[in-house]
Amino acid sequence: MTKEERLKKRHKAEKRFRFYGVVSILVALLFVLILVQNIFSKGSSAFKKTVINVEIFFDQELLEIKNGASENEIIEADFYDVAIESLIKAYPTKNLKEENQLLKLFSGDAEFEIKQAFLDNNNLIGKKINLNITASDDIDQLHKGNYPRDLPEDRRRISDFQLVIYDFLVENDKIGKNFNNYFFKNGDSRDPELAGIGGALVGSFYSILICLLLAFPVAVLASIYLEEFAPKNKITDFIEININNLAAVPSIVYGLLALQILLATIQLPRSTPLVAGITLALMTLPRIIIPCRASLKAVPPSIREGALAVGASKFQSVFHHVVPLALPGTLSGTIIGLAQALGETAPLILIGMVAFVVDIPSSPVDPSSSLPVQVYLWSESAERGFVEKTSATIMMLLSFLIVMNFLAVYLRQKFEKRWN
């Protein structure tokens, strides 16, 4: 082979390598695109809910309260009759069976929505107002175009008569889409139109807060001690190896540990953000210690020596000079560790977070679910409406993760000093 041929061959090899690189990046991007497109196309409709505009008549005869009733009286009062009598007027029906089918177009919470309207204005007795009542899950899915209507009737959940009403409502412009406040406000529910991530958001917030409060100080102190003060000997080497190993332990193992120690031995309450937070803190500790030590290591020795030279003690040199300089890296490491903890499901399954929780937790010792767990739970539900809810929850989770990661990058770039 001549010199030229060899040179050509080497150039070709380089070109090939570059080509492979571009291809693999494109493939990766394509997958991300497909994933995001899939989630968004399924999930974006969950942020809207279908409502049906109905005229509500607050008939004195059907209500046991009067105009100007106090809040407590209204809450105690039963609005069931008012709801039923008004809703069945939405379409002319002939018999009880048709009435029942008509009522099924509305959410089970219609009664409470009417009560809420009265709470907002307690002078409505004897008056008629138009209200947007949340539609049932089936109508919601039909209106969003997620449910096929060209199937034979016995294979549909919506009857022919209900379709007739639906078309009537569409023609008369009585049906529309509103912002789905329930999705953010409510806890879990078995009715997809009422189910929300409110409880899961609060649960995730408490878990991550506890995780941060426990893991951050311990991790920072541990890394400062190991990096700056600890003597380099076999014991510290051994500890270092173990920290690196712990960071690679599968998260489910921490779940098992929590099950044995926190739940069985210490008897902390099951399914609570408290236990979740402690478990996630254990899992996150080594994952924070490693970047913390790296950022401490990155501070050049001249800083320490300079401080010592002007008479600072070791403690002063570390806490007045080294730690502040290492802080941006420490913080971004912590945020990335927390972002991982936020998306974690496996250990939470073992400590009982995979549960149906309707009430929104008011403290870290109330039972609760969390965002990734909510995704898991809804993906298992039979009802059609949960498909979009699942994707929408994933969207929320992803956006939190993206925000946290951006924050980490921002902190590092904004405050980090470069030494060169």
Partner 1 sequence: MNRLFKTLLGFLLVITFTTTSYSRDQIKIVGSSTVYPYATVVAEKFGKSGKFKTPVIESTGTGGGMKLFCAGVGANHPDITNASRAIKSKEKALCEKNGVSEIIEIVVGNDGISFAHSVNAPDADFTKEQLWRALAAKVDIDGKLVENPYKKWSDIDSSLPSKKIEILIAPPTSGTRDAWNSLVMGKGCTSTAKSIYEADGKKAKKECAKMREDGYAVEAGENDTLIVQKLASNPDAFGFFGYSYLVANKDKIKASSVNGVQPSLEGIQDYSYPIARPLFFYVKKAHIGVIPGIEEYLKEFTSKKSMGMRGYLAEIGLVPLASDKYKVTRTAALDLNIIKLN
Instruction: Give the interface with partner 1 as residue ranges (CB under 8 A).
Output: 147-148, 151, 154-157, 189-191, 213-214, 217, 263, 266-271, 274, 319, 352, 354-359, 363-367, 379-384
Give least dist CB 111 to partner 1, A. Answer: 10
- Are residues 412 and 332 in contact, defined by beta-carbon separation less than 8 angstroms? yes
Whole-angstrom distance, CA of residue 170 vs CA of residue 13: 64
Give the nearest distance from C-beta 41 to partner 1 in angstroms. Answer: 16
Compute the chain's Rg from CA coordinates.
Answer: 30
| 201, 374 Cβ separation under 8 angstroms | no
Shortest separation between residue 359's beta carbon and partner 1, angstroms: 5
Q: Which residue, 152 or 231, is less far from partner 1 as judged by CB?
A: 152
Residue nearer to partner 1 on the CB measure, 5 or 380? 380
Query: Taking the chain, what is the end-to-end CA distance rounded to the nearest angstrom?
Result: 45
Residue 93 vs 379, nearer CB to partner 1: 379
Residue 98's contacts (CB-CB under 8 Å, 6 or more residues apart) are 161
Residue 169 or 318: the one with the smaller Cβ distance to partner 1 is: 318
CB of 43 to partner 1, least distance (A): 16
Element containing residue 35 per DSSP (H, E): helix 3-43
Determine contact, residues 369/199, Cβ cutoff 8 Å.
yes
Cβ neighbours of residue 192 closer than 8 Å, sequence gap 6 or more? 137, 140, 381, 383, 384, 385, 386, 389
CA dihedral 335→338→342→346, nearest 10 degrees, is: 150
Instruction: Rank residues 142 and 336 by Cβ distance to partner 1 and give the closer one.
Output: 142
Rounded (10°) angle between helices 110-120 and 80-87: 110
Residues, the chain, total? 420
Q: Are the CB atoms for 55 and 130 separated by under 8 Å? A: yes
Of the pair 122, 189, the CB lying nearest partner 1 is at 189
Nearer to partner 1 among residue 92 and residue 148 (C-beta):
148
Name the minimum Å distance from CB 405 to partner 1. Answer: 26
Question: CB 320 → partner 1: shortest distance, Å?
Answer: 12
Find the shortest distance in angstroms from Cβ 190 to partner 1. Answer: 5
What CA–CA distance (Å, rounded) separates 119 from 277?
38
